[in-house]
Amino acid sequence: MIHSLFIINSACDVFIEKHWKSIISRSVCDYFFDQHRKAINPEDIPPVIATPHHYLISIYRCGLYFVAVCMTEVPPLFVIEFLHRVVDTFEDYFSECSENVVKDNYVVVYELLDEMLDNGFPLATESNILKELIKPPNILRTIANSVTGKSNVSATLPSGQLSNVPWRRSGVKYTNNEAYFDVIEEVDAIIDKGGSTVFAEIQGYIDCSIKLTGMPDLSLSFMNPRLFDDVSFHPCVRFKRWESERILSFIPPDGNFRLMSYHIGSQGIVAIPIYIRHMLALKETTTGSGRLEITVGPKQTLGRTIENVVIEVPMPKSVLNCTLIPNQGKHSFDPVSKVLTWEVGRIETTKLPNIKGTISLPVSTVVTDSNPVINVKFTINQLALSGLKVNRLDMYGEKYKPFKGVKYITKAGKFQVRM
């Protein structure tokens, strides 16, 4: 299965390597570096790279590349899911996953990788189990371990490891019993020059924070479960119940976890919550200047406010500078990467955000580059764009009444507007 794991930073330096079987030389990463040099963006690197003797399967998260090396053919999504689970575990243990944080916690990182994979096969990937095996780092424990020579690894096997509910530890107790669900939807869309939708779909997921005493059995139902085109579940979900009744029935892990992911797009038209009016003129090169104007406004938001709006425009390489005046937010232009960034913030319907001005170009230069695309980021709170709504949450097996809450968030995924 997985022979080795290399963690690589944005400068293509391997700063952590872990081998579960035979040691594989770092030189195998040269094939990855070749693809890295060809790619414009980190996401453009092929997730699977076949070499004469190995397969390199990688993900890019938190500014780092996680590259798994396999000697034989394996299901790529299986390895990719494991790599994402590794990053999620690091974030759960250290609050963030960055090069400095990983370097500061070398010992715990290697202990976690030892437990998560056994002889190349995934073993313990649930956060609850890992936290019973390996205590999360803190200052006092680090000092005590350095003085006594002990490690963070527990000498006893976690209580849930051998049960039929391995994702939940036994004996969980809370003073306040709470169950929170975040329904988060990311809109992927391509809008053409005239404002028509070329492509649109929604990638959604439900993240949970469950703090319940004992061994509760939960049932979550939706008002309109037929919306889902494709779904994937946490192992705790009873799939047969979902197939027959479209109800999520599960014994939840303790703490934070992703209950399900879903895809919406093929059945109907996805509503676009934001519009961009734009004007770009790069042909006035005899005077050495062009014109740019962008206006942003809400479209189909059901009265909700669009927040955290950021506009990014990768300008043609011939552009020297941008002299622009926004009526809201702040903007910057990177003369090296040629990327114009406008941090709009919150969109008020009474005064739509607008930015306009001139673009500096070399005199008498023919602009051969195609028109750029506008990359849009935004957040809409208390709105699930697909119309998905949670109907009710029922709990069985325990007698107390928990506090329950559901929050809806819509965000931009890969949202592009062609100019």
Residue 415, SS3 per DSSP: strand
So what's the pLDDT on residue 143? 60
The Cα 81–Cα 85 span in angstroms is 6
pLDDT in tens, 265-318: 755 678 889 999 998 887 655 566 788 899 999 988 888 899 999 999 988 888
Query: How confident is the model over 65-85, as a mean pLDDT?
Result: 92
DSSP letter for 348, please: B
So what's the pLDDT on residue 148? 64
Residue 116, SS3 per DSSP: helix
pTM of whole model > 0.85? no
Query: How confident is the model over 327-348, as a mean pLDDT?
Result: 89
Question: Is 80 exceeded by the pLDDT of residue 376?
Answer: yes
Mean pLDDT of the chain: 86
Confidence band of 165 (pLDDT split at 50, 70, 90): confident
**Per DSSP, which regions of 265-327 are E strands?**
274-281, 289-298, 306-314, 321-326
So what's the pLDDT on residue 153? 65
pLDDT in tens, 116-151: 898 888 888 887 778 778 877 766 655 655 666 666
So what's the pLDDT on residue 264? 86
Contacts 24+ apart (CB under 8 A), 232-238: 232/260, 232/261, 232/262, 233/259, 233/260, 234/167, 234/258, 234/259, 234/260, 235/167, 236/165, 236/167, 236/168
Query: How confident is the model over 48-61, as a mean pLDDT?
Result: 92
The Cα 109–Cα 92 span in angstroms is 12
